[in-house]
Amino acid sequence: MKFLLPLALLTAPLGAEGAQPDLLPVRQIGLELARDIAMGAIEACRQNGYNVSAVVLDRAGNVQAALRDSLAARHTLEIAERKAGMSIMAGTDSGEFRAARGDIRPELNHMAGLIVMDGALPIRAAGSLVGAIGVSGAPGGDKDAACAATALRKIEERLEFAM
């Protein structure tokens, strides 16, 4: 009987203050929007003569859209995804995070799905983090980030009024 009491305490329902809903309302970036953001970044880089890859991750870090321009190196897809992963984890521009947290950069670069480099931006809809875009292939992360920013400006209104 002495073993039943602790088990009963562990499985007892929580009070009202600890109760959580069974289902949570979550904003999730849709495929079409993710595709448009990725293509917008590639088009912006093309205008500057750069062949890049663009990857859009959802808020959980899952790939929602991944595009590689015809002449972009194959490794750019992985790098773009890892840059976007960093932006999801940090909730900020990957370049800003890189500048602010050089102290943990080596450790983070060894984690699967992350790389601390310029070139990724968070995607926010109506104030909520819904994903991130990572771009790779331009001659410098600042140029990758500029292409990502151009893509986000193109769809800014869609994000602002997203339901």
Q: Which residues of 4-25 are buried (b: 16+ CB within 10 A; e: fewer)?
A: eeeeeeeeeeeeeeeeeeeeee
Tell me: pLDDT of 59 over 60. Answer: yes
End-to-end CA distance of the chain: 53
Cα dihedral: 104, 109, 113, 118 (round 10): 80
pTM: 0.84
pLDDT-wise least confident of 32-36, 52-56, 113-117, 128-132: 113-117
Dist. CA 116–CA 18, nearest whole Å: 37
- Higher-pLDDT residue of 19 and 69 is 69
- What is the phi/psi pair of residue 53, to 5°? -115, 150
List pLDDT tens digits, range 99-139: 888 888 788 878 888 999 999 999 999 889 999 999 999 99
Tell me, what amino acid is at 54?
Answer: A
Asked if 7 contacts 18 with a C-beta cutoff of 8 angstroms, the reply is no
| Mean pLDDT in residue range 29-54 | 97
